[in-house]
Structure 1
């Protein structure tokens, strides 16, 4: 559908037409030990001495600066503790730290309440967390994680407040390399927000309430990180009063999970893989990686899979580096005669003694974009009339939605398109107030959005 894995809404500015990809259930998100387990008990520890427990009776208060520890959330290949730091609390409080009775107990599932709970004017708030994974040995060393760690935020939903207001949850992450949503999705982009010294990707929740702590893909987003040892995220909300009046919310259930947890670089092999990435280009996958300290190291075996489970070797590169030296590698995998649109790749790294370890797995999508060449004319829209010109690769129905800045769908229609150039008139634009809007177009395989404005 698109080249490689692309970011959530491109630059998240909606300055151009962008594509939302189908979210994939990555194999490493399905089995332990690659999912840290937060179903166990937790204790409050001293922020200045993480080995010192200062409260363990469960009757906690939650304040900025507090740190909570889970023991052995990962036990293979080493025992790892997780430390949650409350970095800031803005117009929000923690009602319950981790509600294991809701959703799936291994997830981190706090209850968060607005402050004040009765909101009479527009209001936003959040709790900012930092999580560190440390080895459970004396000294509690902070461990570096390989590229590919996934942070998945579940059940980002809410509802309308009257017909022009809303209350929804929000999610924020910083430092990620990419962010994904499902196709279709009910959540929208809040853009990139520079706040507190960090550039945050902000996600705005659905105005459709889902049941309990939902795992529905339409209200999930996933952020993928490069090599890291600290993850920061925010769980929050936004309230727009509109014509719905004041609203009281006692608390909301939140849920998050960490997947594709990879410590393979902490192996017995001396080689260290610094990065591993890929992109679909033309008819081939271009893989790139950087390694260092290739001491008594033999080769890299490039493995490919179409299901993420069954891999076969497609190429071998002999090591070219040396101890203490960084070396860049490139491998091109020709896919002209290979069926399918989704491919998984990993590296098998083999030393002179035949010992080996695997890199993290990356996912590559073949370019199969069905809708492109999109132009809204005129833009800005005047006199309530505009059309969309687009090029389609297939015959079928496209759903068109006009979405305002709050994420509310204000217009909706369907149109039948044919291979080649198409022009579709957008109806009822005269009903819209002047301002900025998004036009969302969805077929069976992808969702494309374009920004436009309405003027008088």
Structure 2
């Protein structure tokens, strides 16, 4: 809430007070001359207001199970997260509650549940210590006609990897290759079309023989599969 009021002129000056409230109050006093020039500004904060900062919010759906991951800054300011689910993108219900940890600074969270609906939406309702709430963006997971899966045609792979997958929308995607320790080995970007897609890209010559994981991520959903590099 924001209120402003003006007192009567005193010695050709106007005293204006702006009161900012968000839980506790911060007071700003602005002293102006009769000509409208600012002579003095006084600021008396009673508290520091830190917004809820969501660093990332992503997820994937595989074998009729949805998994969400998110990270926040200023974790000590948070009370809990309510994971909300919808099948129409308009009417949301609570799917679960995650209580914030006591860790200061940044923190990571996850949530997983069975998800058999053809299309399903998720968002976070985030509560701070004063129980003020803020919402995340909404993630949407859709089943493709053949199921949301990532298929590898060149497995084992020698110098090139060929992927097949269904895309809900025409959009850019990130393609990443990880070793079994979770270390990123390659990163590519591609533009895909709505429907079935077939992508091929060359593997780095630095990749040693072994087992790797490839991931296709559009920012809302991840598809992953494993392959062998010969």
Give the TM bin, normalised by the shorter chain. 0.3 to 0.5
> When the two structures are superposed, what TM-score results if normalisation uses the length of structure 1?
0.25
Q: For the pair shown, which has the larger CA radius of gyration, 1 or 2?
A: 2
> When the two structures are superposed, what TM-score results if normalisation uses the length of structure 2?
0.46
Q: Which structure carries more strand by proportion? A: 2
